[in-house]
Chain A
């Protein structure tokens, strides 16, 4: 019994062991001068940088702008990808017309078009949103398409026999059946969303976290650069947690998400 309690406690504690040790060693190395501050600032300095930028409001300003770009880009790109996935997934004619063009477009690394995007939109907001939108479109398109195509034919047949019309079948059978796949697409898209945004903001921006870190580099403020990296990590983690919550809600029916499955295990 005591052992089990200890195991439970240690299960919570053990994952933190390595990060904390690294932080402690890092701090010690920085303070002793083993690592030069210009190369890598001490964690405590990063914390101070966090406090300073937060107090001046600069941090919040940049995070809000980046978050905004990410969200709008995801809504536009993901929304378009979802709609295209639904159209091509449900209609063979649409697939014939659109799919090969989309596949060609998909295989172009979307960051390769940055020079063109700068020419078209300058370093305007549209440029960043456009890039994020292109980056998030394809993972959601592919997974939605695949999800719809792999919905159990037997269920659709059952629905037809029970008198459901095409719309009812779409809403009650096809879409929920494709949902696990769509959500996998969303998780991929979120990863690509941050990646795209970081690159776009470091190359062509006058605000946002990417701009903040690039600007800090000019003045050798390594603490702010590291802070920017940490913020990206946190935002990425937050996005992941958000999708997990969505999955738990949307896929509550799935045996893997049953609320009481942990209790009985």
Chain B
């Protein structure tokens, strides 16, 4: 995909400030600190989260790894406010939150675009003032500006997920949650999406929580990888590899096998 490749190069490829908030400025530093304190969730008799706690400083990129059914998606739903914990609390920027949060955005595993709205209208779904310009800016960010008038049905899986990513960007999230967003994509598209996500994170600096079952993906993208087991965090490791990261890195490979032992 040439638009991404072009934009990854440093220099004048990124458009100048055109007034839209998304493309303004090189770094936005949107990120807010996120603290999860002793979270408990149970579905009937089945306990999913049992005292999960983690402290994430602003702008950090954390990957959450764990087997399926371990409560990763439940955790996301708690943070975004779709579900409530039976015990414990979620704190964003030091404040306890309950219910849906404007500062938190969630990228689902499937793109969840409205099929009856164009790409542009999907990105600007919240219809804030001046949404068309903002949405266009976000689409430019993900390299899909030329598809703004298309129906979602004609896009490929990777393109749909990029539109969903643009929709998330429009919300200027302080905390960005990614729930296995690239799980359904082919390997090549996934690598492209990784590069895109890293570039966007470096620019906007939202505090990011990426759920994945792919340890390689976690190590490639995150500053820090945590493993969930038995409803709490059992392993927490910092990924001390400088960016931009190489595709194949011996340090990363060693770290991957270390994490895999813990999953």
| A binding-site residues for B, Cβ under 8 Å | 154-155, 157-164, 168, 172-173, 176-177, 179, 251-255, 258
A interface majority secondary structure: helix
Q: Which residues of B contact A253 (CB under 8 A)?
A: 115-117, 151, 153
Q: How many angstroms between the C-alpha atoms of A176 and B117 in the bound complex?
A: 9
- Chain B window 137-174, contacts with chain A (Cβ cutoff 8 Å), 1 for yes, 0 for no: 00000000000000101100000000000010001000
| A163 lies within 8 A of B171 (CB) | yes
**A176: nearest residue on chain B (CB-CB)?**
B116
8 Å CB interface, B87-132 against A: 100, 102, 105-106, 108, 110, 112, 114-117, 125-127
Contacts of B106 in A (CB 8 A): 161
- Whole-angstrom distance between the alpha carbons of A258 and B82 in the complex? 35
**A172–B117 contact, CB under 8 A?**
yes
On whether the beta carbons of B151 and A258 are closer than 8 Å, the reply is yes
A162 touches B108 (CB 8 A): no
Q: Which residues of A contact B65 (CB under 8 A)?
A: none
Considering only CB atoms, which chain B residue lies closest to A168 in the complex? B127
The verdict on B218 contacting chain A, using a C-beta distance below 8 Å, is: no
Q: How many residues of B contact A (CB 8 A)?
A: 21
**B153 in contact with A157 (CB, 8 Å):** no
Please tell me if B80 contacts chain A, counting CB pairs below 8 Å: yes
Across-interface contacts of B125 in A (CB, < 8 A) = 159, 162, 164, 172
24 residue pairs A–B, Cβ–Cβ below 8 Å:
A154-B108, A155-B114, A160-B82, A160-B100, A161-B80, A161-B105, A162-B125, A162-B126, A162-B167, A162-B171, A163-B100, A163-B102, A164-B125, A168-B127, A172-B117, A176-B116, A179-B116, A251-B116, A252-B151, A253-B116, A253-B117, A253-B151, A254-B116, A254-B153
| Set A161, A172, A255: member contacting B114, Cβ < 8 A | A172
A258: B residues at CB distance < 8 A: 151, 153-154
CB distance from B184 to the nearest CB of A (A): 14
* Minimum distance in angstroms from B142 CB to a CB of chain A: 16
- Specify which chain B residues have a CB less than 8 angstroms from the CB of A157 in the assembled complex: 82, 112
In the complex, residue of chain A having the shortest beta-carbon distance to the beta carbon of B102: A163
20 other contacts beyond A155-B112, A161-B105, A161-B106, with CB at 8 A cut-off?
Answer: A154-B108, A154-B110, A158-B112, A159-B125, A160-B100, A161-B80, A161-B100, A162-B126, A162-B171, A163-B126, A172-B125, A173-B114, A176-B114, A176-B116, A176-B117, A177-B116, A253-B115, A255-B151, A255-B153, A258-B153
